[in-house]
Amino acid sequence: MIRRVRSDKFSKKIFSDEDGLRFATPEIVAEYRAKRLKCNIIGELGCGIGGQTIYFAKYSKDVIAAERSEERLECAKRNCKIYGVSNVKFVHGDVMSEEVRRCFRDAEIIFCDPSRPPEEDFRDIMKTEPKITEIMRFYGEFTENFSFEVPPQIPPSRVPFECEKEYVSLNHQLNRLNLYLGDLKRSDVSVVILPGEYVLCGDGEIKYGGFDEYLHEVDPAVIKAGLIGVLCERYNLHICFRDERRVLLSGGEVSSPFLKHSYRLISICNTLSEVKSVLKKMRADKAILRFKIDPSEYWRVRRKVEEGLNGEKVFHIFRGEKYIVCERLR
């Protein structure tokens, strides 16, 4: 059923079916990608409710958008009207059918966000529907310039194509992995930070060392892309801590969009009892636990650490071989 809804992904009320909004591209991501893929005629295979289509239409001269779901195609048409774009040719049908394929013969670039199983333990780039290799074979007569969105959990080493792997961070959360083939490729692996459109690419040697006064938490997209070494060389930093989820770099005081947060090191402790003593001396009020712990145990442990604190400051606690007490700067 089609209905008009509000969402944090969009600045206006848009039309969606039951699941369309879940898979829709947020405006800020759609606009960045539309600028990156700007051309005369761009084709979109599987446009859904039109979140990306709207911004393709804003930046490219003409758009061809195909969708097999009649409800979602109708939503896309209505949403384009809401956003005031009219340079879209909509096509209803299966993108792997010859009838739909013929409509894309003039496309300079073809974009596709293929569907994949919503829940799977191991993300596999070859399990998209339709398969990326089949799309390139089917539409390769028209263009070599393809762009695909695939699960961002996939590391660069598991992308079996000659392409640029662009990891997108939205508000310092890993959000998208865009693949760019043909003339769209600018580098091997890259990171873009949104908002701001800050781009990181290149090579750099990872350095390791101890804890200095300042610690910097690396954006998760930089970690997934394997570009930590670029930050080490650019800002004269080194890895001082790493666990399953995060990497801390240490060195001087640094401000960078590729760093999620920065901290001042307060103390390194052997036990939580030592941590609690440090927090009392520092006039702490709260202690945010930043290490792996059973969710059912998190608040029990945190309340134990915070018991008796009567200050007004907030501190962050990491754990490697020892506990690392930090005060967040930004």
| pLDDT tier for residue 1 given thresholds of 50, 70 and 90 | confident
Q: Tokens at residue 40, please?
A: 């005369």
pLDDT digits (tens, 9 = 90+) for 136-181: 999 999 999 999 999 999 999 999 999 999 999 999 999 999 999 9
pLDDT, residue 234, reads 97
Q: Which residue has the higher pLDDT, 115 or 202?
A: 202
**Residues contacting 117, CB < 8 A, separation 6+:** 127
120 pLDDT above the threshold of 70: no
Nearest partner of 315 among 281, 298, 258, judged by Cα: 281
Residue 117: pLDDT band by 50, 70, 90 thresholds? low
The b-or-e profile of 207-231 (16+ CB within 10 A means b, else e) is beeeeeebbbbbbbbbbbbbbbbbb
**What pairs with residue 128 in β-bridges?**
none
Percent of the residues in the chain that have a pLDDT greater than 90, as a whole number: 93
Look up the CATH architecture of domain 3-199: 3-Layer(aba) Sandwich (3.40)
pLDDT band, residue 23 (cuts 50/70/90): confident
What pLDDT does residue 240 have?
98
Q: Find the mean pLDDT for residues 200-210.
A: 97
Average pLDDT, the chain: 96
118 pLDDT above the threshold of 90 = no
Give the whole-angstrom CA distance, residue 133 versus residue 102: 19
Least confident of 54-68, 116-130, 185-199: 116-130
Residue by residue, what is the 3-state secondary structure of the chain? Answer: CCEEECCCCCCCCEEECCCHHHHCCCHHHHHHHHHHCCCCEEEEECCCCCHHHHHHHHHCCEEEEEECCHHHHHHHHHHHHHCCCCCEEEEECCCCCHHHHHHHCCCCEEEECCECCCCCCCCCHHHCECCHHHHHHHHCCCCCCEEEEECCCCCHHHCCCCCEEEEEEECCEEEEEEEECHHHCCCCEEEEEECCCEEEECCCCCCECCCCCEEEEECHHHHHHCCHHHHHHHHCCEEEEECCCCEEEEECCCCCCCEEEEEEEEEEECCHHHHHHHHHHCCEEEEEECCCCCHHHHHHHHHHHHCCCCCCEEEEEEECCCEEEEEECC
pLDDT digits (tens, 9 = 90+) for 29-38: 999 999 999 9
* pTM of the complete model: 0.95
